[in-house]
């Protein structure tokens, strides 16, 4: 019911200029969130504390997460489209609350773009009512949740201008076992967490660098 179209992304002035177009290809009106209808995830490799375990492929959200609850949705008529002009940064922050670290990870190789929608106004209204109930009465969670539908598109990224070598252009960034995206970024101004994150990044670069030493 919903298609995603993208332009050719380009790095410029420290960000990835990306245009995402969502098109209603169905014969009926669908409903998309006013905010939070788009989620962009970065492909990464998670290495484990146990060296016997193989690295795992994971998707890390780098755009679209929010700590602000909103249930409003807009109608998108048949054949209509909505366009978002985005500017993704060269890096984003990951946090390990276990290791008490915060560091920057390069946005490179591949992302997945996910667009969420409701097929009908009734689906949106029912979901809105359930979310409101869970917000104000968290102990009375509905037995069956009305969920959005989604469509997704994977996209290879152009090589980062600051790449240290060509191999970095095809090597997903690494994260350790306990690292994840935190919203809101409450550790952004915590010097100790960032200093420990810098040390972790240097260690990973020394032991797992994509570039030959």
Residue 45 domain boundaries? 2-208
Q: Within a domain: residue 65? A: yes
pLDDT number for residue 147: 74
Q: Within a domain: residue 200? A: yes
Per-residue pLDDT of the chain (213 residues; tens, 9 = 90+): 999 999 999 999 889 999 999 999 999 999 998 777 899 999 999 998 887 889 999 999 999 987 666 778 999 999 999 999 999 999 999 999 999 999 999 999 999 999 999 999 998 888 888 777 777 777 776 666 667 899 999 999 999 998 889 999 999 999 999 999 999 999 999 999 999 999 999 999 998 888 875
Q: Within a domain: residue 213? A: no
Q: Within a domain: residue 92? A: yes
pLDDT number for residue 142: 63
Regarding pTM above 0.85, the answer is yes
How many other CB atoms are found less than 10 A from the CB of residue 140? Answer: 8
pLDDT number for residue 145: 62
Task: Annotate the chain with three-state secondary structure.
Answer: CEEEEECCCEEECCEEEEEEEEEECCCCCEEEECCCCEEEEEEEEEECCCCCCCCEEEEEEEECCCCCCCCCEEEECCCCEEEEEEEEECEEEEEECCCCEEEEEECCCEEEEEEEEECCHHHHHHHHHHHHHHHHCCCCCCCCCCCCEEEEEEEECCCCCCCCCHHHHHCCCEEECCCECCCCCCCCCCHHHHHHHHHHHHHHHHHHCCCCC
Q: Within a domain: residue 24? A: yes
Measured over the CA atoms of residue 32, residue 66, residue 106 and residue 167, the dihedral's sign is negative
What total of structural domains would you count in the chain? Answer: 1
Q: Please say whether the beta carbons of 88 and 110 come within 8 A.
A: no
> Which of 126, 24, 136, 122 minimizes the C-alpha distance to 79?
24
pLDDT number for residue 100: 97
Q: Within a domain: residue 142? A: yes
Q: Within a domain: residue 115? A: yes
């Amino acid at each position: 019911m919903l298609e995603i179209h993208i332009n050719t992304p380009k790095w410029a002035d420290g960000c990835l200029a990306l245009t995402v177009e969502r098109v209603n290809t169905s014969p009926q009106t669908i409903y998309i969130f006013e905010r939070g209808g788009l989620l962009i995830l970065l492909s990464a490799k998670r290495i484990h504390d146990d060296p016997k375990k193989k690295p795992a492929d994971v998707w890390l959200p780098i755009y679209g997460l929010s700590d602000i609850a909103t249930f409003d949705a807009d109608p998108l008529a048949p054949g209509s489209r909505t366009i978002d002009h985005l500017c993704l940064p060269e890096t984003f922050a990951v946090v390990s609350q276990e290791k008490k670290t915060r560091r920057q990870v390069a946005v490179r190789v591949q992302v997945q773009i996910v667009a969420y929608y409701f097929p009908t106004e009734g689906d949106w209204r029912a979901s809105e009512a359930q979310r409101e109930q869970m917000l104000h009465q968290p102990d009375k969670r509905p037995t069956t949740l009305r969920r959005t539908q989604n469509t997704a598109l994977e996209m290879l990224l152009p090589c980062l201008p600051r790449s240290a070598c060509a191999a970095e252009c095809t090597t997903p960034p690494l994260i350790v076992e306990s690292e994840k995206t935190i919203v809101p970024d409450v550790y952004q101004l915590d010097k100790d967490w960032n200093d420990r994150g810098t040390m972790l990044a240097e260690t990973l670069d020394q032991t797992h660098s994509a570039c030959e030493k």
